[in-house]
Amino acid sequence: MIAFADIREAQDRIRDFIYKTPCAHSETLSHLTGCNLYLKLENLQMTGSFKERGSLNKILQLNKQQKAVGVITASAGNHAQGVAHAAGLCGIRAVIVMPETTPLAKIQGTSQLGAEIELYGSSYDEAYEKACELQQCHGYTFIHAFDDPAVIAGQGTIGLELVEQVPDIDAVVVPVGGGGLISGIALAVKESHPDIDIIGVEAERLPAMQQSVTSGRVIPLRTANTIADGISVARVGEHTLPIVSKLVSQIVTVSEEEIAAAIMTLLEREKSLAEGAGAVGVAAMLQHRMSSLKGKTVVVVVSGGNIDMTLLARIIDRGLENDGRVSYVTVVVPDKPGSIAILATLAARHGANILHITQNRHASEVGLEESEVELTLETKGHNHVNEIIAELKKNGISVKSNNLD
């Protein structure tokens, strides 16, 4: 059982090793959500996520013999870096078992902190089973990613901080995977502020906590891929479920597209880089999942920022396309000199910049004297794209397709 005193002790224990992250007010998100919204920026921690809090609290309590043997864990990434960082501070060996699907950025980040990496399985749960085998074989101390009282207490220090940083909070919105973060925050916040609502957000593809709370017992789900890989957990914790069931007001889910849009919004409007798991709370707020929060003071925990750069590039590309700032238009023109120049002139006349152009004389449903041309345009929104398409048609150019179709 975890008591409030455990969280206070954890705060004293790890205080000199972690960064007390800001709880920043966001004018932009307050306007977009209709709330007085603050962001608890745990993506600014040294390892890029909140996870080092729980890892430090656990490892700093190990005895000499346990430290001599070392620690092991399984993680989709952020907990791995937290354990590696904490073990490095204490000068002990750390072995990390990571799913083979873990983003390269998290693998490299963990390795650079001095941990030994073993890639195994396609999910956290498979990596966890492998780590348990190695723990039994070598006698390591296992540092669970979320289902450990010391880890939960360490994560709860976020709750102690945010109630000091923001006056008169009505609700705290927290990402949910296995439940360690939201359990710790709920225990910390509810002790002194029982009227504050704690709301969890999961990826729509893996609503393990939502289903377990509804059923009243741990419900294992099939693993699923999600851009919120940090909360990609198919089985919630035995310690965390009772806490969440008792103290969390509601759990909502968000889709992959909604998570991607939130990452884009945080990056562009807040100049804050969040990974998928770190952005789910903002995604839920932007989609108005909790209509009862309108006009209230809300703290959203941005739990991490360790996103794979190739994924981020795809999210940005998709976001620009969805906003109509990058558009794709396919046209059919006469296969003769000057046709491409006419397209360029018409695009320029309407203030569109051609980013890329591809000509295909062998496209299906195109005559022998015609050519298919695909334009990638930098545009100013959907209305601007429609204006350009109308202008092309007005000048006798056949528009075969566009990304607004």
Both structure tokens of 350 = 């309407």
Kindly report the backbone phi and psi dihedral angles of residue 278, in degrees, each rounded to the nearest multiple of 5, phi listed first. Answer: -70, -20
Q: Residue 352 and residue 344: Cα distance in Å, rounded?
A: 9
Report the interhelical angle of 51-59 vs 149-165 (nearest 10°): 130
Question: What's the Cα-to-Cα distance from 255 to each of 91, 226, 292, rounded to whole Å?
Answer: 41, 9, 20
Active site residues per annotation: 51, 303
The candidate with the shortest Cα–Cα distance to 383, out of 404, 400, 399, is: 404
Cα 302 from Cα 39, distance rounded (Å): 6
CB atoms within 10 A of CB 9: 15
Distance (Å, rounded) from C-alpha 62 to C-alpha 51?
Answer: 18
**In degrees, to the nearest 5, what angle opens at C-alpha 310 toward C-alphas 308 and 316?**
100
**8 Å CB contact between 132 and 72:** no
Q: Half-sphere exposure (CA, 13 Å, Cβ side) for 24?
A: 15
User: CA 150, CA 10: separation in Å to the nearest integer?
Assistant: 8
CB neighbour class for 269 (10 Å; exposed up to 12, middle 13-18, buried from 19): middle
Order of strands, sheet of 353-360, starting from the edge strand that comes earlier in the sequence: 353-360, 370-378, 326-334, 398-402
